[in-house]
Structure 1
Amino acid sequence: MRRSRSPWALAALLVGLVVLAQALLVPLFAAPAAHLAPRDLPVAVAGPPPATAELAARLAAARPGGFRITTLPDAAAADRALRDREVYAAFVVGPDGVGLHTAPAAGPTVAALLTEAAGQLSAGRPVPVTPVVPADPDDPRGAGFAAGFLPLALTGMLAGVLLTLLVAGRGARLAGLLGYAVLAGLGGVTVLHGWLGLLDGDPWREAGAIGLFSLAAAGAVAGLGALLGRPGLGLGALLVFLLGNPLSAVSAAPELLPQPWGTVGQFLPVGAGGTLLRSAAFFDGAGAGRPLAVLTGYAVVGLALVLVGRGSSVGGEVAARPGPARVTV
């Protein structure tokens, strides 16, 4: 006859597990944000060759390893590189000195950091700043974009969990995932673009980006749940939210995070989703190739796992499992 666990011991165990989770999660979320700095950040130097060579050398010396510098012939070429998401900013050498061309829509934090760096290079003299791809005027610091993207990740994870726990049948789960992706895309763009005004691109392109991200997040969780059961749901939550969110760089840029974590985050659903939505909302789709491929991969693999995994709901299996036989004396 098995003795029941003491409620005191159970309380101590639960408290210990929560404290351990806190000790792991706090640095996971706080450390990337506390150590933001340029790490191989793509920037351009544009202008006459002798002047650009000197300026590139000064940039490299000011922050070794901080910048990946591309030399361009003139301001027009620099602006094209900004619109194509090839660089975050361009230092343009002209007759009146150095000016800074930026793309705040790619990350207001990066634009502010590079504006500060330009002031240091000019020995404190004012540097004219031209925002070639500005952030949305209703969200100049990008805080609304980052805060608005977080619920998309959370609800995507939740949709995958609920469909796995409560819905039996592979076909019903697949229909639920696809229906959720369509509704999430339409609902997300209605709120973020139409109501709050945080996005500034083509609404259909933005809805497609949000819908694909939602399908990738929910599909990854549901697919792992179908394959592994409850442990798979935990792994999916770790992949999509607990690990993916702090490494996503949605509020900054992947090149500002400690490496290799900034790169790793772009191969997780939240990081790829944030990058894809920025490209759709502010850059007419430029720079969308890699995040589009990453999210499509998660969506296809997740749907395939749902299709071949267990068809019964995980919650139903647990509820139907017989308990220990009771012996009457």
Structure 2
Amino acid sequence: MDTTEHSEHSEASSADQHTDHLVYAMPPKKSAYRRWYGAQHPNVQMVLSQLWMPVFMLIMFILCYVAPFQHAAPRDAPIGVVGTVEETRTLQAAADQGEPGAIAFENLPDYATATRQVSDGDLAAAYDVDSHTLITASALQAQAANIIPKIVTPVLPALGQDETPTVDDLAPLPAHDIGMTPMYLMIAWCISGYLAAMFVGLMGGPLGRRVRFSIIACTAVLLSLLSALLIDPILGAITGHFWALWGLGFIWAFAIGAAVNGVSYFVGRFVAVPAMLMCIFLSMPA
């Protein structure tokens, strides 16, 4: 046997040895759905692959909005009382008897302390016993300003007060506003900030930090300016606060954008889910 024949025989033997270890198996059978999906037009497949978003939004809207709001009621609403400790305890006992757990009264030393804490949002409202005055801030918490008098007034007879208290609104809402303008304005700033950062995360993967933050900051500046123009001089919904609206809108939109951008470093192109969770489904109901 010459060298060529020996080489061919060795290769054939080696091939036979490798063939002995091969396992032939049938390819996995595709389900009916996969066969149907594979037969669709590529654009149809692309659309179908994105339908997770409306399904996700439907479920989260029901869980985060419908579920909690169907049982909306005050829970331990902090109400200050400018009076004696005994008067505060009397009001708390009357409140617990009528609606347990709805109100948490706390004693305050003077009227100035009450107005400061209501203005800062530390208290939902405050009641001054001597002047028979209920202190509120409608622009800060419009819903609380409407609900609190209805749950506080019924317990005042415990102190011998049968008349409706005088209301001192420290931050009244603009005329004809029921508290929706500030809420929807904050929502608009929030959504503009998170959408800008979300698209940066979805499509700007290779971009550096400075470019990302520049896009988010510029978007926040321009959109907050647009909102201030629409709200103040054009619609007149909130008048006389153009610069404050622009500055607050920029800070809020940029803060939201920076937070979403930070999350995008961990989840990449899947940033839409945590962004919507933070900025739509959890923040607004809260």
Give TM-score scaled by structure 1 length.
Answer: 0.62
Matching residue of 2:136: 102
Structure 1 residue 6, shift from structure 2 partner = 0.6
User: Contact between 1:181 and 1:214, CA under 8 Å: does it hold in 2?
Assistant: yes
Structure 1 residue 88, shift from structure 2 partner = 1.7
Output the amino acid matched with 1:99. Answer: T
Taking only aligned residues, the RMSD between alpha carbons, in angstroms, comes to: 3.4
Specify whether residues 234 and 52 from structure 1 end up closer, same or farther in structure 2 by C-alpha distance, changes over 3 A only: closer
Structure 1 residue 241, shift from structure 2 partner = 2.1
User: Contact between 2:201 and 2:271, CA under 8 Å: does it hold in 1?
Assistant: no
Provide the C-alpha distance between the structure 2 equivalents of 1:241 and 1:197, rounded to a whole number of angstroms.
27
Matching residue of 2:155: 121
Specify whether residues 129 and 196 from structure 1 end up closer, same or farther in structure 2 by C-alpha distance, changes over 3 A only: farther
User: Contact between 1:47 and 1:93, CA under 8 Å: does it hold in 2?
Assistant: yes
Is 1:84 matched up with 2:120? Answer: yes
Structure 1 residue 125, shift from structure 2 partner = 4.3
User: Contact between 2:139 and 2:171, CA under 8 Å: does it hold in 1?
Assistant: yes
Which consecutive unaligned segments of at least 5 residues does structure 2 have?
Answer: 1-26
Output the amino acid matched with 1:103. Answer: A
Matching residue of 1:222: 261
Is the radius of gyration larger for structure 1 or structure 2? 2
Is 1:159 matched up with 2:196? Answer: yes
Output the amino acid matched with 2:126. Answer: A
Is 1:68 matched up with 2:68? Answer: no
SS in 1 for 2:219: helix
User: Contact between 1:99 and 1:127, CA under 8 Å: does it hold in 2?
Assistant: no
Provide the C-alpha distance between the structure 1 equivalents of 2:48 and 2:212, rounded to a whole number of angstroms.
38
Specify whether residues 180 and 218 from structure 1 end up closer, same or farther in structure 2 by C-alpha distance, changes over 3 A only: same
Matching residue of 2:224: 185
Which consecutive unaligned segments of at least 5 residues does structure 1 have?
Answer: 248-329
Is 1:44 matched up with 2:71? Answer: no
- 2:246 aligned residue (184, 200, 207): 207
Q: How many residues align?
A: 245
Provide the C-alpha distance between the structure 1 equivalents of 2:282 and 2:222, rounded to a whole number of angstroms.
26
Provide the C-alpha distance between the structure 2 equivalents of 1:12 and 1:178, rounded to a whole number of angstroms.
34
Give TM-score scaled by structure 2 length.
Answer: 0.70
- 2:185 aligned residue (139, 148, 159): 148
CA deviation map 1:139-181 (0-9, x unaligned)? 5420122223322222222211222344452132221112122
User: Contact between 1:38 and 1:66, CA under 8 Å: does it hold in 2?
Assistant: yes
Task: Tell which has more relative contact order, 1 or 2 (C-alpha 8 A, sep 6+).
Answer: 1
Is 1:169 matched up with 2:203? Answer: no
Specify whether residues 135 and 198 from structure 1 end up closer, same or farther in structure 2 by C-alpha distance, changes over 3 A only: farther
**Structure 1 residue ranges, 4+ long, deviating more than 6 angstroms after superposition:** 1-4, 8-17
Specify whether residues 213 and 5 from structure 1 end up closer, same or farther in structure 2 by C-alpha distance, changes over 3 A only: farther
CA deviation map 1:223-276 (0-9, x unaligned)? 3334432123332232222333333xxxxxxxxxxxxxxxxxxxxxxxxxxxxx
User: Contact between 1:177 and 1:215, CA under 8 Å: does it hold in 2?
Assistant: yes
